[in-house]
Structure 1
Amino acid sequence: MVERRPRWVDGLLALRNLAVTPFGLRRGAPAGAKRIGIFPVVSASPDRVVMGFDDAHLDFRVVVEVTPDDDGQRVMATTLVRTRNRLGRLYLAAVKPFHRVIVPAMLAQVGRK
């Protein structure tokens, strides 16, 4: 089965890619990188995957961990961002509200699989 993001997330990502093009920001994973969805994989183990990349405006990582829980397993996502300049701070301020909606929606989808 092919994993799919909700359509509204695809729409937001397409809008983001249009908006960042004039600023020379990356529009996705570097060519040839192993990816999960749009994110390049930095490292992976059976219970943790780290995704992300460094760019001129900011560095980011998304860490997804699976741990045992009383009800089975718990899936947790942590996002780490280091801004490098004013553009990075502006970009983070613009995407942060969307990120707070997208990540829980994506994790809820994992729980339904």
Structure 2
Amino acid sequence: MNGTVREITPNVDVETVLAGAQFIDAFRVEIGAAALDAREACTRMVLHGPRWTDALLRLRNILVKPFGLRTSGEGAPAPHGLIGLFPVLSETPERLVAGFNDYHLDFRIVADVAGPAADREVTSTTLVRTHNLLGRTYLMLIMPFHKLVVRSMMGRIVEPAR
């Protein structure tokens, strides 16, 4: 099952990561004995994702710009730097939390690396808290793509080359 991405029941402390989150899901991939930490796993997902996800992100940025929504991580607090456009909010070798708060919604991505040395796995958890009609509409519009995008991005943890 190494390399197979599967949806799992989320297992994060929602109140600590993003209190009041209305949406949460999680996906896991087994990485075997691969030696990588949470930052490397998140970097492989975000920066080495499939090219078609880059096209979706460009389209998203064009569509949301008239609404004044964030199209990059600029201006967002990033105590641990950025991975792509995502500000890293906290980090240990086993867990990285990235995301930001915006006018329409707040979101977090949590990358967890766990398991014994020969049987490691990475879990990516997404949490979203909407603030208004725009946030709820935005979340509804991206949901058909979300699971497909996350599954594809997580597949790049095992096979990062583009």
SS, match of residue 9 in structure 1:
helix
1:69 Cα deviation from its structure 2 partner: 5.0
RMSD of equivalent CA atoms: 1.8
Distance 2:85 2:50 in 1: 13
Q: How many residues align?
A: 112
Secondary structure of the residue that 1:82 maps to in structure 2? strand
- 1 or 2, which has the higher strand percentage? 1
Give, as a single letter, the amino acid of the residue that structure 2 aligns with 1:8. W
In the TM superposition, structure 1's runs of 4+ consecutive aligned residues that sit over 6 Å from their partners are none
Counterpart residue number, 1:89: 136
Amino acid at match of 1:78: T
Query: What's the counterpart of residue 58 of structure 2?
Result: 14
Residue 4 of structure 1 deviates from its aligned partner by 2.4
Identity percentage of aligned residues: 47
| Cα distance in structure 1, aligned partners of 2:87 and 2:155 | 21
* TM-score between the two structures when normalised by the length of structure 1: 0.90
2:77 is equivalent to residue 30 of structure 1: no
If asked which structure has higher relative contact order (CA below 8 Å, sep 6+), I would say 2
Which structure 2 residue ranges, 5 or more long, are not aligned? Answer: 1-43
Q: 1:45 corresponds to which residue?
A: 92
Range moving further from structure 2, 26-35 or 41-50: 26-35
Give the TM-score of the pair, scaled to structure 2: 0.64
